[in-house]
Amino acid sequence: MPRFGSIKRRELIHYLRVLDFEGPYSGRKHQFMTKGDIILRIPNPHRGNIGKELLSRILKQAKIAKKTWEEL
């Protein structure tokens, strides 16, 4: 189960795939993942781990509750 906190980009992508997101696909400046009508930009890989604040914004855009995330 992923805890709500700093996470590696690779782990973020893995857990988003578990939640039925597809991708990542190449975009203009960032890669993105999709699920239905949701298009979710993924941070670039060269910036290190994804912090708690950015993870919170990503989950909000993906319409994933914190509780759902922690139950994976």
Query: What's the token pair of residue 14?
Result: 């893995």
Domain membership flag for residue 59: yes
- Is the residue at 2 inside a domain? no
Domain count, the chain: 1
The pLDDT-based confidence of 1 (bands split at 50, 70, 90) is low
Domain region containing 47? 9-64
Prediction pTM value: 0.91
In a domain, 3, yes or no: no
Q: How far is CA 62 from CA 4, 8, 27, 36, 54, in A?
A: 15, 17, 17, 11, 12
Supply the pLDDT for residue 2: 81
pLDDT tens-digit readout, 8-50? 999 999 999 999 999 999 988 999 999 999 999 999 888 789 9
Query: CATH no. for residue 21?
Result: 3.30.920
Tell me: pLDDT of 3 over 90. Answer: no
Burial 28-61 (b: 16+ CB within 10 A, else e): eeebbbebeeeebebbeeeeeebeeeebeebbee
